[in-house]
Amino acid sequence: MYRHFKIYKPYGYLSQFVTNQKTRKNKKMLGELYHFPEGTMSIGRLDEDSEGLLLLTTNGKLSALITGSKVEKEYYVQVDGIITSEAVEKLQEGVDISINGKKYQTLPCKATLLPDPPSFPDRGKKIRDPRHGPTSWISITLTEGKFRQVKKMTAAVGFPTLRLVRVRIGEEHLMEMQPGEVIEKEEFSL
Residues with catalytic roles: 47
Instruction: Give buried/exposed letters for 112-150 (b at 16+ CB in 10 A, else e).
Output: eeeeeeeebeeeeeeeeeeeeeebbbbbbebeeebebbb
Instruction: Report the distance separating Cα 176 and Cα 160, nearest Å.
Output: 27
Query: For the chain, what percentages of helix, strand and coil (3-state, to nearest 5) are there?
Result: 15, 35, 50
Q: Are strands 172-173 and 182-185 parallel, antiparallel or unpaired?
A: unpaired
CA angle centred on 67, ends 61 and 68, rounded to 5°: 85
Q: Which of 51, 60, 53, 181 is nearest to 122 (CA)?
A: 51
